[in-house]
Amino acid sequence: MGSCPGAPAGSTETPSPGPLFCHPLVSMSPMDPADRRASVRRRPRTAAVVTAVAAVAAALCAVTACGGGHPYDRGGRPHASGPATGPAVPPGSFPETPTTTFQGAWPALTAEDGPSGVLTLGTRLAYAYDRDDVGVTAFHLDSGEVAWHSAVPGGDDVAQAPRLTGDKVIGAFTTTEEGGGTYADRRALTVVALEAGTGATLWTREIALGTAGGAGGDGEDPDPTAVARVVGADDRHVLVASDAPGYSETPPLSALLDTATGRVVWTDTDFEGVDLERSVAVGVRDDGDFVGRSTTDGAQLWKRDLRLGEARTADPGPGLTWADGVGPGGSLLLDPTSGTTRLDSGDTSLDACRYDGGSITVCAGSDGSGDASVWAVDVRDARVLWRLPDRPAGRIAPEVTAAWHGVVYAQADQAMTLDARTGRDLDPDVGLVSPALVNDGYGLVYDATARAFDVYRSGGAPGRSTG
């Protein structure tokens, strides 16, 4: 199989055989996001229902060498998807009108995920799933045109967004192979790696979920409503999961794969992955316990009952796992390698956390009185750098929409920026709206009415601290 149509002239990529086919460069019809979220479902007999939230981290692309789910390389840069098209600094302002707009058949946005739940941002391309012709589509940020589309035959449905790590885009799909005669349909969790610039297939791996009627595997029916997702990916490993929305008799399944080859390192049918780090994958068991499994051999490294009842978890940045109950009370930032608590927020419930690609994650939520609250935390030692509101200083907590390289993008009475390390205001007016997705050259805003992303080219650099 050769490179996809539209691949750059002279490309030497030779994709491995797999079930993906590349389509010509065409516009997509309109159709229907930092925490990137996915639900962890428990069987009805289980006391605790856990909703797992996969990385958000400014929610651009996914994954760095320091841990899954983060959109940066070792130097804090967006993973490569071609030459950079903007200045190598965080955008400080945006024009009044978008540079371009693009639409796609991505999954519907959810209140928890927002725009970052359906789109992964690279340097010059953005990546999303396509629900019509199930597969992955790449869009040019400078023009909004489709760069490439790779479809997965037999793909049933998609959720959230694919992940970008290095030169690979990783996608996870639930696929069905139709049976015939006395043979039942077979369902699988299919994971694919595509070359980020061209869409060429690098490898494909199918993990059996079972057959209708429970004819294979452990004899249980695969839940037909289960959807696949990429929990995290880095230059070593990919963590994927398959689970059903709501309550399900079928337990969730997670698998860890080798990023370079697609080789399955381990699978676990009682583990809903929520966070991938260099040495450990964090997940939730059917009984509600949080566990850490080695990315080397799958050994269980720790197990902990957080006693949060109905809980939510997420990856707020490298070296941390976030957990919170749905009832009143604070949030926990855990050490994913040991399960120990690194920060307890007390009576403040921190919800969405957005990692800036450097050393800071900015979390928003509400305090014990229900008022909006924003905390900035150093991911290296879980130290709180600043908090808003600051009532003695007369400062309120803005609505945080993104964080990138030392800059927090937020909405108060208008779109503004703050210094991620100090919390001071940088620019009280950066444009009409605050972007939900940011890289060094662009800011993206989701237009819910048009079900489209408006792309704004950066208009300048902010004056932020670099520590």
Buried b (16+ CB within 10 A) or exposed e, 332-359: bbbbbbebeebbebeebbbbbbbbbbbb
For residue range 190-212, list pLDDT tens digits in order.
999 999 999 999 999 999 886 55
Instruction: Answer whether 412's CB lies under 8 Å from 55's CB.
Output: no
pTM for this model (two decimals): 0.79
pLDDT, tens digit only, all 467 positions of the chain: 443 433 433 333 333 333 333 333 332 333 323 333 333 333 332 233 333 333 333 333 333 333 444 444 333 334 434 333 344 567 888 888 999 999 999 988 876 667 888 999 999 999 999 999 999 999 999 999 999 999 998 888 788 899 999 999 999 999 887 666 766 678 889 999 999 999 999 999 999 886 554 444 444 566 777 789 999 999 999 999 988 766 666 778 999 999 999 999 999 999 989 999 999 999 988 788 899 999 999 999 999 988 765 667 778 899 999 988 656 667 899 999 999 999 999 989 888 899 999 999 999 999 888 899 999 999 999 999 999 999 999 999 999 999 999 999 999 989 999 999 999 999 998 878 899 999 999 999 999 888 899 999 987 655 554 44
Instruction: Note the pLDDT of residue 341.
Output: 93
State the pLDDT at residue 37: 38
CA distance 294 to 281: 6
Query: Which sequence spans correspond to the domains of the chain?
Result: 22-350
Sorted by sequence, the CB contacts under 8 Å of residue 454 that are 6+ apart come out as 98, 101, 444, 445, 446, 447
pLDDT at 461: 57
**CB-CB neighbours of 20 under 10 Å:** 26
Rounded to whole angstroms, the Cα distance separating 263 from 253 reads 17
- For the domain bounded by 22-350, which CATH number is listed? 2.40.128.630
* Residues contacting 10, CB < 8 A, separation 6+: none
